[in-house]
């Protein structure tokens, strides 16, 4: 049973806050949204905080990078009915995980002689520590991702997850295929749609910021990429940028 007035919170871990900003930028719809939700804790939305109140819904932005963040997240999970991972950082570690090969050097560079005392680990997806009930993809997500999500909830149904690739939207808009016709390295065939193929529409190959569709066929993508300038290792790195680098 989904309550009419949802008590929601937005919590931020390691990330640029772009996901929260996109929610706030739904300017035309915020007044309507405010009638459906009671935002009890969100650093960029309200100065109110609640340390005990339970949440109906907690939106989690950012990746987890330290034992203290891990504990904080686990405590929050006990207080919320539903937890939603928002954006690439929360879903896969996102671009933060690009630190992996150079992590030690980077820590020393930033923290100097006290680097050893800083308790951090390589950025991890939220799902590595707590159960996640729903995901909103993107880096950052689109306005429509948030509005569809809350729209479904306010109608009393649980939001569905998009799983069709960017290519579907590209074809629907009858755009020129940058991969097949121009041999540009476009990740649209394996990337979750929902952006209306914004980048291909501007002549820019998809970078894969919305994460991978569940049936992503990387072998076929490699085959399609054969005519582009990307080497296999560069393609691998490009896919890793928003997928957290697992199993590529």
Q: Which two tokens stand for residue 226?
A: 């054969």
Pick from 9, 15, 194, 245: which binds ligand SF4 (CB under 6 A)? 15
CB of 214 to ligand SF4, least distance (A): 17
Beta carbon nearer to ligand SF4, 7 or 205 = 205
Stretch that binds ligand SF4, among 32-40, 88-96, 100-108, 230-238 (CB under 6 A): 88-96
CB of 238 to ligand SF4, least distance (A): 13
CB 241 within 8 A of CB 92: no
**DSSP characters over 125-158:** -GGGTS---EEE-SSSPPHHHHHHHHHHHHTTSP
Pick from 93, 123, 125, 189: which binds ligand SF4 (CB under 6 A)? 189
Phi, psi of 95 (to 5 degrees): -65, -15
Q: Does the footprint of ligand SF4 cover residue 177 (CB under 6 A)?
A: yes
Beta carbon nearer to ligand SF4, 61 or 142 = 61
Q: H-type helices in 13-158, by residue range? A: 18-24, 27-36, 67-79, 87-92, 103-111, 143-154
Pairing of strands 55-61, 6-12: parallel
Q: Does the footprint of ligand SF4 cover residue 93 (CB under 6 A)?
A: no
CB of 88 to ligand SF4, least distance (A): 4
> How many residues belong to the site for ligand SF4 (CB under 6 A)?
28
Q: Does the footprint of ligand SF4 cover residue 196 (CB under 6 A)?
A: no
Pick from 135, 167, 213, 221: which binds ligand SF4 (CB under 6 A)? 167
CB 172 within 8 A of CB 122: no
Q: How far apart are CA 37 and CA 225, in angstroms?
A: 45
Q: Does the footprint of ligand SF4 cover residue 139 (CB under 6 A)?
A: yes
* Ramachandran quadrant class, 183 (left: phi over 0; alpha: psi -120 to 50; beta: rest): left
Judged by the rule CB under 6 A, the positions of this chain that interact with ligand SF4 are: 15-19, 61-62, 87-89, 94-95, 139-140, 166-167, 170-171, 175, 177-179, 186, 188-189, 197, 200, 206
């Amino acid at each position: 049973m989904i309550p009419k007035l949802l008590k929601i919170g937005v919590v931020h871990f390691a990330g640029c806050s772009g996901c929260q900003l996109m929610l706030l930028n739904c300017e035309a719809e915020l007044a309507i949204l405010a009638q459906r939700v009671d935002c009890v804790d969100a650093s960029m939305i309200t100065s109110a905080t609640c340390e005990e109140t339970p949440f109906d819904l907690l939106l989690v932005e950012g990746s987890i990078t330290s034992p203290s963040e891990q504990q904080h997240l686990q405590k929050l999970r006990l207080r919320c009915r539903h937890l939603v991972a928002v954006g690439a950082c929360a879903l896969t570690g996102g671009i933060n995980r690009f630190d992996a090969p150079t992590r030690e050097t980077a820590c020393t560079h930033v923290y100097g002689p006290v680097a050893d005392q800083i308790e951090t680990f390589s950025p991890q997806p939220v799902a590595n520590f707590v159960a996640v009930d729903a995901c909103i993809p993107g880096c950052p997500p689109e306005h429509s991702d948030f509005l569809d999500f809350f729209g479904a909830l306010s109608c009393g149904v649980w939001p569905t997850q998009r799983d069709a690739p960017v290519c579907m939207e590209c074809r629907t808009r009858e755009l020129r295929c940058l991969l097949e016709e121009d041999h540009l390295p476009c990740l649209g065939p394996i990337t979750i749609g929902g952006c209306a193929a914004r980048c291909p529409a501007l002549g820019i190959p998809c970078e894969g910021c919305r994460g991978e569709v569940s049936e992503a066929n990387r072998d076929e993508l490699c085959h399609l990429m054969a005519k582009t300038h990307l080497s296999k290792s560069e393609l691998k790195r490009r896919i890793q940028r928003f997928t957290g680098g697992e199993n590529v």
